Chains A and B, each alone.
Chain A
Amino acid sequence: MDKDLIKELADYVHNAEKEKQEIIKITTERYPELSIEEAYLVQEELVQQKLDAGYKIIGPKMGITSEAKMKQMDVDDPIYGYVFDNMVVNEGDTISISDYIHPKVEPEIGFILDRDLEGPNVTALDVLRATEYVFPAIEIIDSRYENFNFTLPDVIADNTSAAGAVFGTNLKRPESLELDVVGVTLSINGKVESLGAGAAVLEHPANSIARLANMLSKKGEKVKAGQPILSGGITAAVRLAPGDFVNAKYGGLGDVSFFVKE
């Protein structure tokens, strides 16, 4: 795969994000043979374009972390992308639906490490020992592809649909909770729309961070201390509409909410 093609594909998804215009997935026609490795090259180019434009990486985020989704996509590994500074939404703020294409939300558990984690062979125990805090978070995903219709390489190239992150401020030490049985409800305007528990993420959210460290080590990178990391959606994603009051509650971790307008 030559550099021109990588750039062409990164431009293709990046423009869709900038223009808030959905596109047909890469693998339909543009480049049907896109592999997972190539897709990460496109994502790297996309990330570089954003950095060149002056945006900063806030932290990594995990995707395809549930058994059901991995089965549906027929893969053994979760995927990762990056949250940028322009994607961060403050708790209690109002977002405009027009800033997105067709946004959905997922409640997640966030991690902040107090030391770097370098794979391979990082375990969930290593992650918990290196974790300074866990916190409640809501991720806003907004695939640039029509109807969220994509293959695994497509979604990797699209920075794993990253579009927004609402970080809760209720920080807890990891040992104060059993993260696999943190019960989570996602409500829109007071009605529970989806629910689950932490184990929906690779049986324990710390497994997700371990997999991230091990995947990054293949590129010679590590999971960095101090960055908020999104470990993966605990419930099914729910589509947003103007007028929504979005609230996610977490057993022992409080709640996070925000509003949606036109």
Chain B
Amino acid sequence: MNTKSVSKIENHVKHLNNAWETGVGVQPLTVLDPDLTIDEAYAVQLHTIDQQVKSGQRITGKKIGLTSKAMQDMLGVGEPDYGHLLDGMAYENDGKIPFHRVLQPKVEGEIAFILKEDLVGPDVTALDVLQATDAVVPALEVVDSRIKDWKITLADTVADNASSGLYVLGENPKKITDIEIKQLGMVLYKNNQLQNTGVGAAALGDPAKCVAWLANKLATYDITLKAGEVILSGALSAAIEAQPGDHFYAKFAELGEVHVTFTE
């Protein structure tokens, strides 16, 4: 990248960071810069993550987004995207999230993979993923957008760390051999009201396929999925908006439940 594009990336990073500083969503990057490419958007994401790592945060894993046909159709794209997970984004099961930690959060139920071996693309298959997986756990992902009113295009969400917010893991790890991951059912409740149901296959037909996609996508940026990393493999149902006071939980076949509450 030349100097001009480096300063453009830095400006975009600053623009998005304004949302954290002011607590208010900002204009989409693609409105300021209609020509923003997906590669540039990933550069904005990586630059932001570098800043956070330099300020003391640790990368704990990755998340895969846009894994459902419905979400892909909505943004007019044919493949998922990904973002980084940092230790500051993790909340304990049954934990409380102060609402000032988020801007416009939504909650999704997902299956998280915990790796025991590095996964190096290209040519990683779903079978490779299963062999490299130590365990799977139930997870709630709190997606959040720094773009005002979630008015995002693909480039906007990619630059914004794939709209990652926070995540909560359940504490019931299961070996991949003990579950039927594609047919694993899930039900999501908000304040004890059923919101929606889903199944493993909602994530590109197979959550392990999503992780394989990620490993291969990362290879193009010379990034490797490392042993010990947590991979959120994609939402099993539509994201549900959260307000202060809301309690969410997802119940999964075989994997049990994971809970979180938003406080004032």
Closest to A191 in B: B205
Q: Do B200 and A183 have beta carbons less than 8 Å apart?
A: yes
Q: Do B199 and A200 have beta carbons less than 8 Å apart?
A: no
Q: Do A178 and B253 have beta carbons less than 8 Å apart?
A: yes
CB within 8 Å of B: which of A217-262?
234, 249-252
Closest to A178 in B: B253
In the assembled complex, how far is the CB of residue B17 from the closest CB belonging to chain A, in whole angstroms? 38
Is A182 positioned at the interface, with any CB of B under 8 Å from its CB? yes
Interface-centre pick from B182, B187, B199, B202 (highest chain A CB count, 10 A): B199
Query: With A181-B252, A183-B253, A252-B180 known to touch, is A197 a contact of B201 (CB < 8 Å)?
Result: no
Docked Cα-Cα span, A199 to B194, in Å, equals 8
Is B121 positioned at the interface, with any CB of A under 8 Å from its CB? no
In the assembled complex, how far is the CB of residue A123 from the closest CB belonging to chain B, in whole angstroms? 18
Which chain B residues border A200 with CB–CB below 8 Å?
196-197
Which chain A residues border B198 with CB–CB below 8 Å?
183, 195-197
Is A203 positioned at the interface, with any CB of B under 8 Å from its CB? yes
11 chain-A/chain-B pairs, Cβ below 8 angstroms: A180-B185, A180-B251, A181-B251, A183-B182, A184-B183, A184-B185, A195-B198, A196-B197, A197-B197, A203-B187, A252-B253
In the assembled complex, how far is the CB of residue A98 from the closest CB belonging to chain B, in whole angstroms? 31
In the assembled complex, how far is the CB of residue B249 from the closest CB belonging to chain A, in whole angstroms? 12
Q: Do B253 and A195 have beta carbons less than 8 Å apart?
A: no
Contact with A along B41-70 (1 / 0, CB 8 A): 000000000000000000000000000000
Is B186 positioned at the interface, with any CB of A under 8 Å from its CB? yes
Beyond A183-B201, A184-B183, A184-B199: 13 further Cβ-contacts under 8 Å? A178-B253, A181-B186, A182-B253, A183-B183, A183-B185, A183-B186, A183-B253, A185-B199, A185-B201, A196-B197, A234-B197, A249-B183, A251-B253
Is A67 positioned at the interface, with any CB of B under 8 Å from its CB? yes
Contact with B along A155-193 (1 / 0, CB 8 A): 000000000000000000000001011111100000010
Docked Cα-Cα span, A262 to B139, in Å, equals 45
Docked Cα-Cα span, A13 to B182, in Å, equals 41
Which chain B residues border A234 with CB–CB below 8 Å?
197
Is A60 positioned at the interface, with any CB of B under 8 Å from its CB? no
Q: Do A67 and B182 have beta carbons less than 8 Å apart?
A: no
Query: With A199-B194, A251-B253, A252-B253 known to touch, is A181 a contact of B201 (CB < 8 Å)?
Result: no
Q: Do B185 and A251 have beta carbons less than 8 Å apart?
A: yes
Which chain A residues border B196 with CB–CB below 8 Å?
200
Is A81 positioned at the interface, with any CB of B under 8 Å from its CB? no
Closest to A190 in B: B205
Q: Do A185 and B253 have beta carbons less than 8 Å apart?
A: no
Which chain B residues border A251 with CB–CB below 8 Å?
180, 183-185, 199, 253
Which chain B residues border A181 with CB–CB below 8 Å?
184-187, 251-253
Is A198 positioned at the interface, with any CB of B under 8 Å from its CB? yes
In the assembled complex, how far is the CB of residue B24 from the closest CB belonging to chain A, in whole angstroms? 33
In the assembled complex, how far is the CB of residue A7 from the closest CB belonging to chain B, in whole angstroms? 41
Docked Cα-Cα span, A10 to B251, in Å, equals 44
In the assembled complex, how far is the CB of residue B85 from the closest CB belonging to chain A, in whole angstroms? 25
In the assembled complex, how far is the CB of residue B204 from the closest CB belonging to chain A, in whole angstroms? 10
Q: Do B205 and A180 have beta carbons less than 8 Å apart?
A: no
Query: With A180-B251, A181-B251, A252-B253 known to touch, is A195 a contact of B199 (CB < 8 Å)?
Result: yes
Docked Cα-Cα span, A181 to B205, in Å, equals 17
Closest to A203 in B: B194
Contact with A along B198-239 (1 / 0, CB 8 A): 111110010000000000000000000000000000000000
Query: With A197-B199, A198-B185, A203-B194 known to touch, is A192 a contact of B205 (CB < 8 Å)?
Result: yes
Interface-centre pick from A181, A199, A234 (highest chain B CB count, 10 A): A181
Which chain B residues border A182 with CB–CB below 8 Å?
183, 185, 253
Which chain B residues border A180 with CB–CB below 8 Å?
185, 187, 251
Docked Cα-Cα span, A199 to B250, in Å, equals 12
Which chain A residues border B200 with CB–CB below 8 Å?
183
Q: Do A197 and B180 have beta carbons less than 8 Å apart?
A: no
Docked Cα-Cα span, A40 to B200, in Å, equals 39
Which chain B residues border A185 with CB–CB below 8 Å?
182-183, 199, 201
Q: Do B194 and A250 have beta carbons less than 8 Å apart?
A: no
In the assembled complex, how far is the CB of residue A126 from the closest CB belonging to chain B, in whole angstroms? 21
Which chain A residues border B197 with CB–CB below 8 Å?
196-200, 234
Among A67, A178, A195, A198, contact of B202 (Cβ-Cβ < 8 Å): A195
Docked Cα-Cα span, A195 to B203, in Å, equals 11
In the assembled complex, how far is the CB of residue A206 from the closest CB belonging to chain B, in whole angstroms? 14
Which chain B residues border A184 with CB–CB below 8 Å?
183, 185, 199
Which chain B residues border A197 with CB–CB below 8 Å?
185-187, 197-199, 253
